[in-house]
Chains A and B, each alone.
Chain A
Amino acid sequence: MSGANMNANQTGSTAGQKQKPRPSFIKRWGLTGEWLVSAAMIYIAIILFIAVFGFLFQPYPHTQQDLFNQLQPPVFMGGTWANILGTDDLGRDVLSRLIKGLQLSVLIGVIGTAIGAVLGSLLGIVAAHFRGWVEEVLMMLVDVQVSLPFIIFALAVLAFVGNSLTILIIVVGIDGWERYARLSRSMVLSANQKDYVLAVRSLGLSNFKIYQRHVLPNIMGTLIVQATINLPGVILLESTLSFLGLGVQPPLTSLGQILGVGRDYLILAPWIAVAPGMVIFFLTLSIAIVGDWLRDRLDPTLQ
């Protein structure tokens, strides 16, 4: 079937003239968008590469202290090439810690988002399929989740259950499931009313196959975009928790934790906080840009 899809892409451009694609927010800013999307993708690729292979060119172990060398400025602020991004309050190399922290932040972000997306979407589909009391219970849970400030919930769980990386990932993953659940429920409800579902049912497709082959592909685009909106949120949530001291515990480190430590030295040594802050900022922005672009790409009527 891949041949057929290739074919579709070729003919897509000619028939696309009939419908004007709705411009994405990037285009509405007057930017052509293409280079921005490319830049965002390259940035994400670099971040992912560093997250996976960063340990290969990490200058020092992230825990190595050098108490004679505290708060050294980065090389472009008068520091030395020994510590390109300077050192922190314990004389640890900021670049090394950044690489190590990035690894954990990306790991938590990606796995956390996946947990929320899969869990939420499945529950949404279940609610829409079974209706009745199943739907009511699930949607009630959604309402509870929405009305509860998640950070309080996360703090409570981490305080009571105790802290480990696994628990942190699960807690961060639970954040946002209600958005997927609501989205997928409403989209499945409306998709189930569509004639094409009736049409394939009249062709003899089973319920499972109808969801798998027809309904899911139709709502997938929206769910993926929701995931890209949520991913920065998850990374930020992890950063927030670590910043508050309840997230990743030393000796492990994450971007948020470095940021939290850097807060105390914001005037004396701004680079400790600025370096992870910038990485988080550009990462979340890039994911949002790529998500927006993906939304346009995944909808064949907008191609």
Chain B
Amino acid sequence: MSKTKTSPSITSKTSSPLFEVKDLSVVFDTPDVTLEVVDKVSLKVSAGRTLGLVGESGSGKSVTCLAALGLLAARGRVTSGEVMFNGKDLLKVGEVQMSKLRGCEVAMIFQDPMMSLNPVRTIGWQISEALLLHQNLSRDATYKRALELLDMVGIPNAKTRFGEYPHQFSGGMSQRAMIAMAIACEPKLLIADEPTTALDVTIQAQILELLSDLKKELNMAMILITHDLGVIAEAADDVAVMYAGRVVEEAPVLELFDAPLHHYTQGLLNSLPRVDLKVERLSAIEGAAPPPQEFVQGCRFQLRCGYCDDACTGARPIFSQVSDTRRVACQHPMSAK
């Protein structure tokens, strides 16, 4: 259905990404200092693809996406960069235009589904609101469409569930309801901010499957923010690894798992439990990810990296384009196999 809706101008230039973040920088103003939490981050994702955005807590994954949608509110401000969506720079369209785009063409789901639903409104009310916000539907049509959406995201007994409150929903069901709200207008881009972190492992798999089904069905582009490489392996097509406010490596998912180029990526992969290898003890990356006030000159991973030398402490490592789809920001990348 949405495929017929997409305008020919987009289908003709399929090579150009639907959503592209270029050199986005975000700072948080505190009374004492200005913290640069996102430093010249570039990302892109095309229709029908999933970009996995992976990194530790505080690496700027969520902030990048929130900033791109203009949802930072008072917490931070964008200092440079552009966010191209469908040929428009989202940072320049203004708040009115932006709220028309949000929820309609770009939607977002959040980490804790139990907290992301208004506790005093019924699920049906909230889905209807999402529907009515951008579409002109009659009461009956809204109700029908809401039931359809509940059905689509795999909530059984849609008619009963329609009138229930969020506290009557389990975590997985709440996340399904959130997804129903997010896809109410068939957005072109869905940003999922750790959609499975608060859920059981079994439910996680179901939600990821649902998301990838919906992505195919609606031909959406998707950005999947997570700190779980298992989720990335399962659901992403391309991966961008973030560390301390910067993207350090970009690669298609299989290549990344096969042959990571950045030492940080390697460290992350080494700390994953493997079923195919017998390992006595999982290795961990020494130290902790630095908070924004302790960001250092040069490569921000230098203090935890075994390959660090003078070159790393000087200038910011620039991206070397390894192939069309791969790039890495490291002075001494691991050799590609």
Interface residues of A (CB under 8 A from B): 1, 3-8, 10-12, 15, 18-19, 131, 194-196, 198-206, 213-214, 217-218, 221, 299-301
Contacts and interface: CB of A to CB of B under 8 A. Distances in A.
Interface string B150-174: 0000000000101111011000000
Interface of B: 69, 71, 74, 99-104, 107-112, 115-122, 124-125, 128-130, 133-134, 160, 162-165, 167-168, 178, 181-182
Nearest to B169: A15
A19 B167 contact: yes
Q: Across the A-B interface, give the 9 residue pairs with the lowest CB-CB distance, nearest first.
A: A7-B163, A203-B103, A204-B103, A204-B102, A202-B108, A195-B115, A15-B168, A8-B163, A195-B116
Secondary structure at the A interface, as helix, strand, loop or mixed, is helix
B164 A11 contact: yes
B301 to A, nearest CB: 30
23 contacts: A4-B163, A7-B160, A8-B122, A12-B165, A12-B168, A15-B164, A15-B168, A131-B74, A196-B118, A196-B119, A199-B108, A199-B116, A200-B118, A200-B129, A202-B107, A203-B133, A204-B99, A204-B101, A205-B99, A213-B129, A214-B121, A217-B121, A300-B119
Contacts of B109: 199
A205 B120 contact: no
B99 A301 contact: no
Nearest to B117: A196
Residue in A1, A5, A201, A202 whose Cβ sees the most chain B Cβ within 10 Å: A202
A200 B163 CA distance: 19
A248 B294 CA distance: 67
A201 B95 CA distance: 11
A217 B102 contact: no
B102 A203 contact: yes
Nearest to A220: B120
A5 B112 CA distance: 25
Nearest to B181: A203
B164 A8 contact: yes
Nearest to A218: B120
B162 A4 contact: yes
Contacts of B74: 131
Contacts of A194: 115
